[in-house]
């Protein structure tokens, strides 16, 4: 009950590679950084900001002091520990959080409480906001953009760098640098040096920035990320490079090798996974002759409505229709 439309596709592909992917090799251990997970499970192969920052910290990046909160009281307690002005950010798989009221600064406890309560009542798409990140406000001198991704055309990793971060980076493509990477050795030295040289930094700062670019590659490779973006990477007025924000997506075929990430379902959803979708995805945890795709397209069943379940395999389609109290009617 509750299913009015679903589709199951039998994919004629070997799942042996997925079975091998689930043999856990080289698990990464993260240090304690007061960014503990607030989610019992993570759906999709995208991680929240605080999870990505944990990965960055484990690879030598400096991150702002802070922690997550799932209630307004927890947010106030976090702000009191940090002292001074803080920033509160919704933890959601979306860009443009500031534009939807998902980022706010606060100096007083009542301001923190009000912002946290409002944010925790929000929904982004069909996903409710379950946590906010409360961090110290950073005194920023300069901003930079760093992004690791897989270049499908080159069949190799690539790092995109720009001497200016923040919103609108996509419209400033002319000012970005593409740094080719060797899958084993990392970003090419000459390309890194050329990119950093154009920033007008002192020798000490240029060295730190060069190290940050290399750390980005190491962080992405360590968890087999398909993309890892630090925007902005900021140079603070005290002379430190700090990862102020982070977005990361793990290769869904590598999720089985990284149980420490807590990814329950490595699939893109536009809604929280339903009970049926969790059951269906669990089938793929074992190495069967093939695998299948299940999607629950509606989560409510109006009284007296009919439903449709379609099965597709090797180009042959089978479906059956049903309504409450009536037998299934099969069609080929």
Domains of the chain: 46-55+138-250 (3.30.470.20)
Q: Check residue 105 and give left, alpha or beta (phi > 0: left; psi -120 to 50: alpha).
A: beta
pLDDT-derived band at 37 (thresholds 50, 70, 90) equals very low
pLDDT, tens digit (0-9, with 9 covering 90-100), for 97-142: 999 999 999 999 999 999 999 999 999 988 999 999 999 999 999 9
Residue 5's Cβ-count burial label (10 Å; 0-12, 13-18, 19+) is middle
Quick one: how far is CA 40 from the chain centroid? 16
The residue among 17, 59, 20 whose CA lies nearest residue 222 is 59
- Flag whether pLDDT at 207 surpasses 80: yes
Is the CA virtual torsion 51, 56, 58, 62 positive or negative? negative
pLDDT, tens digit (0-9, with 9 covering 90-100), for 86-96: 999 999 988 88
- Name 262's Cβ contacts closer than 8 Å, sequence gap at least 6: 37, 39, 41, 42
Quick one: how far is CA 283 from the chain centroid? 24
How long a stretch of residues is the chain? 332
Q: Is the peptide bond before 232 cis (omega within 30 degrees of 0)?
A: yes
pLDDT-derived band at 164 (thresholds 50, 70, 90) equals confident
pLDDT, tens digit (0-9, with 9 covering 90-100), for 235-289: 999 999 999 999 999 998 888 899 999 888 877 777 788 888 888 777 766 665 5
pLDDT at 279: 82
């Amino acid at each position: 009950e509750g299913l009015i439309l679903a589709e199951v596709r039998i994919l004629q592909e070997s799942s042996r590679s997925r079975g091998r992917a689930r043999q856990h090799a080289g698990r990464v251990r993260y240090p304690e950084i007061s960014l503990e997970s607030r989610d019992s499970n993570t759906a999709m192969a995208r991680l929240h900001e605080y999870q990505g920052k944990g990965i960055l910290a484990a690879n030598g990046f400096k991150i702002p002091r802070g922690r997550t909160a799932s209630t307004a009281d927890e947010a106030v307690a976090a702000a009191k520990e940090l002292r001074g002005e803080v920033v509160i950010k919704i933890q959601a798989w979306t860009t443009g959080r500031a534009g939807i009221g998902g980022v706010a600064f606060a100096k007083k406890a009542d301001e923190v409480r009000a912002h946290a309560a409002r944010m925790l009542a929000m929904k982004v798409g069909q996903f409710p906001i379950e946590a906010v990140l409360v961090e110290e406000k950073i005194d920023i001198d300069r901003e930079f953009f760093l992004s690791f991704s897989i270049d499908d055309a080159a069949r190799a990793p690539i790092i995109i760098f720009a001497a200016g971060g923040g919103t609108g980076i996509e419209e400033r493509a002319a000012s970005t640098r593409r740094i080719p990477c060797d899958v084993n050795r990392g970003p090419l030295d000459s390309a890194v040096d050329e990119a950093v040289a154009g920033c007008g930094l002192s020798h000490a700062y240029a060295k730190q920035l060069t190290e940050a670019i290399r750390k980005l590659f190491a962080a992405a490779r360590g968890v087999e990320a398909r993309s890892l973006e630090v925007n902005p990477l900021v140079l603070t007025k005290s002379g430190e490079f700090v990862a102020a924000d982070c977005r990361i997506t793990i290769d869904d075929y590598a999720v089985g090798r990284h149980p420490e990430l807590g990814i329950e379902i490595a699939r893109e959803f536009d809604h929280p996974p339903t009970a049926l979708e969790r059951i269906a995805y669990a089938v793929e945890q074992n190495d069967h002759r093939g695998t299948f795709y299940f999607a629950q397209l509606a989560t409510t069943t109006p009284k007296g409505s009919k439903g449709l379940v379609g099965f597709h395999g090797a180009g042959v389609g089978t479906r059956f229709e049903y309504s409450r109290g009536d037998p299934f009617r099969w069609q080929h």
